[in-house]
Structure 1
Amino acid sequence: MHLNSALFTSKSNNRQIAKDSAPKRGLFWATRTRILVWYVLTITIISIVSIPIFRELLYIRVDERVRKDLVKRILVFNTLIENEANTSLSASDLAKHPNFSKSQVFDPRFVRPSSHKELKNFFDLFLSEQLPEDETFFMTFVDGKFYKSNPRGRPEIFDRDTVLMRRWAKLVKPERGEQELADPKLGGLIYITQPVKIRGKNLGVFVIAHTVADERQETIEATTVVVQVMSVVMLGALMLAWIASGKVLAPLRSLSTTVRSVSESDLSQRVPVYGKDELADLASTFNDMMDRLEAAFTTQRYFINDAGQELRTPITIIQAYLQLICNDAPEEVEKNVTLVFDELDRMSSIVEDLIILAKAERPDFLNVETVDVSSFSEELFAKAQASGERNWRVDRVAVGDIVVDPERLTQAFMNLVQNAIQHTKSTDKITIGSSITQNTVKFWVRDTGEGIDEQEHERIFERFARASSIYNSQGTGLGLSIVKIITEAHDGKVILHSKLGEGANFCMVLPVEPINLK
């Protein structure tokens, strides 16, 4: 009960520390605000660029529509002026001029003029039949002088004595043109002129002109409406962006809170994972990292505790025998000194094994080279025979080359040999061997000793772990863990086949090809 209360108090204190240690940032420096500012800048730049383009496109569309209308009307005029009396247009001709009715085409009043008088009559009849749109002006010239217009009221630019009107009156070739006018009320001017020639003689000129001020004003008003709508839409978009950015950044805030809540005594905090996007992947990666850290800290804690337990025993024994040496008779001193040295050797062995386990985390743990498996296997067999009196056997010897660290691999193999010696009798058989395939090489040590319970197969490879029951090691408890670490450093694995009372078979399986050292 007290332990749970202490743990709860510790976690609460960690969260409070994380909360107090959270950096105090102003609103402007918050990531959410900066995202919104960049969003506003982006939208503003796009609007500044797109609105003038939109307005210019509208101008172009309006001017194009005006040009098409003027062209249609001038085609109608040309069609009528070219008609002989009592002739009709073909169906294809009528299809080209949808604004011109069939009754007009057959109107006998429209006759090709042959004199100035007939041209005036033609202009009178034509102008009376036309209904120009706003800002469109039909103007006629006869014998180099202004004659009539429709509508009669015209801007000052179309007064009969202006430079433009006098130039139009003297034209002898068709002309299409555009020009900006000084009067802002009129804006630009689009016009088409059509001289009337009979038998090579210029009788007059017909002009259709259109001022685009009204259309451009409508374009400006349309642009203004678009700007107003965009402003409202942008305001709504900013509100939605603010809310959406908060939702998107929620996992980051959760990650930040979790990171601040992590402490040396509490590594259990994890970030909730939602969805399958990049932030979810970040949260999963962080949780995986925390799992590894928690496992490493837990292993380190157990390792330190176990190492302390293992080293405390020989130290206590040494202290006891040193006290005896001081009080013993001279004949007992040599015996006690020998025992002290045995315990010191045991401590030295433990320290050496601990150093090996510590070096296993370093990138230079292995120094690989090409090794001939046959010669290497023979050396291992010779060293194994010298380790103890057993019934030694060799299964087979592989032939080929592999890339390994021979020193480390020898150390791992001899640990398996020592393990086999410790759990066999002098009459038991220990068999070693090696084999090689296209991708892997195997080294094994098999004995006919006491065997290992299947439930203990995983645990005996842990540091300072010893199997229970009759599998009771007299070593440091680090030998098999060193075998596992050296094998895994070679990107290999250790396989154990054993049953209680039926012996054990330890096999190291390693890759033949060169490994990528981390």
Structure 2
Amino acid sequence: MHFLSSTRSRILTWLTALICLATAGSILAARQILLLQIDDSIDSALAQEIEEFQRLLNGFNPTTGEPFGDDVGAAFDVFLARSVPEDDEYFLALLDGEIYATSPIALPEALQFDDSAIARWSALSQVQQGQLKTPMETLAYKVYPIETASASKGVFVVAFSLTNRRQELRQILLIMSAVMGCAFLLALMAAWLVIGQVLAPLELLTETARSIKSADDELDQRIPVRGTREIAALTDTFNDMLSRLRASFASQRNFINDASHELQTPITVIQGHLELLGKEQGDRPKTLWLMQDELKRMSRLVKDLLLLARAERPDFLDLTMVQVDELMETIYAKAQAIAPRQWHLAQVAKVRIVGDRDRLTQAVMNLTQNAVEHTQPEDTIEIGSRLVNQQIHLWVHNSGSTVSPADQARIFQRFARAPASRRSEGAGLGLAIVQAIANAHGGTVALASSPGKGTIFTLVLPLEPPQDSAQP
């Protein structure tokens, strides 16, 4: 049973069964076709011999030059002298109920000793065709009774031995079966090797999957792409899955490390103030305010983490038609209340897109909050939108501090903050949330920062997000 449990063995078993059925069906069909051909050829030979005898009987006697007339015996003599029967073919001439003459080949025992058949044929008045079966053999025959004006009556019989023909057919079928059996065994051995080659990538996939647990070095394994189109596609998909698992495990590890580090600070602060709460009675209101502030910061952190976790779910977005110019005017009105800056609403694209209005508002507001944290009251913050190559660009531009190229590569990571923003009260999740919202809409976030020009964050979004971003 262990042999039949493998895919290779099951495929070979089914292949064997199908080939056996096909082979048996082919042999049976070939046997039936050959039997029909034998019967047709014998029927044609019987009809041909009777037709030749009829032509001779209706012609002239070569000895006298006169018609045969009632001299049936002479017609028998001339025909038997001229005609050479085929293998397993026999001629029998009956005259007045007795055997008058036969073909040179010795008659089979079925004709020599079956007096009842001779009597039955002699009494016929019409042409008859049939088979004569005996324990020894089977004969196919055709009887032609000859009518004359005299009292004598002649009967011409042509017979074929089916036994010999069918014996030859059995020999042919046995040889065919032996050849097909050998070919079948060779085909099975070849199929075993071919199936092994085809399934080799699948076995490698299985072994690789079994070896993978959670270690990062094991997730670095990749399977060589080879085989047919389907196997190659499966291998590519498996390798892509390994890459995603690798990235997921790394992100999970970093997330746990960063989250534990970020949460540890407010927890330590709260614990420290709780210890002081009972010792310093006069500072109790201040201590309570500090603990409440830390708890609020923890609450904001947890909400941001939950938001990032939901960003990978298909129901993250609530898609509707969004009028971009109205969206940007609303965001501009909200942004002015954040902090005193030189606010400007620049170019506004009057276009409609398919998106989540609340998530887009959250993304742009996060960018404005980030701009506020890196600017002074005298600095300028500009927001705007424009349509570029069937994509909508939503940007926030500030004239404050810039982001170094080294920090630009990591600033969108969770809990990542530029050195200048260490004074910020945020946990470093704002830009990660912006990127998650952009990715959910099928877009990206671009960053350009240089001295003298400031920093500009741009959400590049398609007019319609991909289908898998919609709610299920």
What's the TM-score, normalizing by structure 2? 0.87
Question: Partners of 2:262 and 2:117 in 1: how far apart?
Answer: 114
Q: Which of 84, 94, 103 is residue 131 of structure 1 equivalent to?
A: 84
Question: Partners of 2:393 and 2:226 in 1: how far apart?
Answer: 45
Alignment of 1:54-453 (within 5 A): 54-84=30-60, 108-109=62-63, 111=65, 113-117=67-71, 119-142=72-95, 146-151=99-104, 153-159=106-112, 162-175=115-128, 177-179=129-131, 181-187=132-138, 189-196=139-146, 204-265=154-215, 266-320=218-272, 330=282, 338-435=289-386, 439-453=390-404
Instruction: Say which SS state the counterpart of residue 134 (structure 1) adopts.
Output: coil
- The more displaced of 295-304 and 155-164 is 155-164
Q: What one-letter code is carried by the residue in structure 2 that aligns with 1:213?
A: T
Q: Is 2:464 the partner of 1:510?
A: no
Do the aligned partners of residues 453 and 184 (structure 1) sit closer, same or farther apart at CA in structure 2, a change above 3 Å counting? Answer: farther
Do the aligned partners of residues 162 and 397 (structure 1) sit closer, same or farther apart at CA in structure 2, a change above 3 Å counting? Answer: same
Q: Could you report, residue by residue, the CA deviation over 1:131-177 in whole angstroms, capped at 9, with x for unpaired residues?
A: 223321112234565422213743454359734333433444444x2
Question: Partners of 1:276 and 1:52 in 2: how far apart?
Answer: 36
Instruction: Say which SS state the counterpart of residue 361 (structure 1) adopts.
Output: coil
Q: What one-letter code is carried by the residue in structure 1 that aligns with 2:261?
A: Q
Q: Which of 41, 52, 58 is residue 28 of structure 2 equivalent to?
A: 52
Do the aligned partners of residues 454 and 109 (structure 1) sit closer, same or farther apart at CA in structure 2, a change above 3 Å counting? Answer: farther
Instruction: Say which SS state the counterpart of residue 192 (structure 1) adopts.
Output: strand
Structure 2 counterpart of 1:5 = none
Number of aligned residue pairs: give it.
466
Structure 1 residue 486 displacement after superposition: 1.0
- The more displaced of 154-163 and 51-60 is 154-163
Q: Could you report, residue by residue, the CA deviation over 1:167-221 in whole angstroms, capped at 9, with x for unpaired residues?
A: 433444444x232x3314322x323344446799996332221121101011112
**Structure 1: gaps (5+ residues):** 1-24, 86-107
Instruction: Say which SS state the counterpart of residue 461 (structure 1) adopts.
Output: coil
Question: Partners of 1:496 and 1:110 in 2: how far apart?
Answer: 124
Question: Partners of 1:493 and 1:198 in 2: how far apart?
Answer: 111
Contact 2:38–2:165 (Cα < 8 Å) also in 1: yes
Instruction: Say which SS state the counterpart of residue 496 (structure 1) adopts.
Output: strand
RMSD: 3.2
Structure 1 residue 226 displacement after superposition: 1.9
Do the aligned partners of residues 338 and 241 (structure 1) sit closer, same or farther apart at CA in structure 2, a change above 3 Å counting? Answer: same
Structure 1 residue 323 displacement after superposition: 5.6
Question: Partners of 2:151 and 2:248 in 1: how far apart?
Answer: 107
Contact 1:454–1:499 (Cα < 8 Å) also in 2: no
Question: Partners of 2:351 and 2:384 in 1: how far apart?
Answer: 14
Question: Partners of 1:201 and 1:306 in 2: how far apart?
Answer: 127
Instruction: Say which SS state the counterpart of residue 298 (structure 2) adopts.
Output: helix
Instruction: Say which SS state the counterpart of residue 459 (structure 1) adopts.
Output: coil
Instruction: Say which SS state the counterpart of residue 325 (structure 2) adopts.
Output: helix
Q: What one-letter code is carried by the residue in structure 2 that aligns with 1:125?
A: V
Q: Could you report, residue by residue, the CA deviation over 1:389-414 in whole angstroms, capped at 9, with x for unpaired residues?
A: 11111113333543322222211111
Do the aligned partners of residues 338 and 216 (structure 1) sit closer, same or farther apart at CA in structure 2, a change above 3 Å counting? Answer: same
Question: Partners of 1:282 and 1:463 in 2: how far apart?
Answer: 33
Question: Partners of 1:199 and 1:413 in 2: how far apart?
Answer: 123
Q: Could you report, residue by residue, the CA deviation over 1:278-300 in whole angstroms, capped at 9, with x for unpaired residues?
A: 23322222221111111101011
Structure 1 residue 83 displacement after superposition: 3.2
Q: Is 2:435 the partner of 1:484?
A: yes
Question: Partners of 1:202 and 1:423 in 2: how far apart?
Answer: 136
- The more displaced of 199-208 and 278-287 is 199-208
Question: Partners of 2:456 and 2:350 in 1: how far apart?
Answer: 22
Structure 1 residue 473 displacement after superposition: 6.8
Q: What one-letter code is carried by the residue in structure 1 that aligns with 2:7?
A: T
Do the aligned partners of residues 422 and 197 (structure 1) sit closer, same or farther apart at CA in structure 2, a change above 3 Å counting? Answer: same
- The more displaced of 425-434 and 445-454 is 445-454
Contact 1:197–1:203 (Cα < 8 Å) also in 2: yes
- The more displaced of 349-358 and 243-252 is 243-252
Instruction: Say which SS state the counterpart of residue 434 (structure 1) adopts.
Output: strand
Structure 1 residue 321 displacement after superposition: 5.3
Question: Partners of 2:422 and 2:65 in 1: how far apart?
Answer: 129
Alignment of 1:4-15 (within 5 A): none
Q: Could you report, residue by residue, the CA deviation over 1:300-353 in whole angstroms, capped at 9, with x for unpaired residues?
A: 1011112222233344444555566666694x6666655554444433332221
Question: Partners of 1:408 and 1:112 in 2: how far apart?
Answer: 119
Question: Partners of 2:134 and 2:452 in 1: how far apart?
Answer: 114
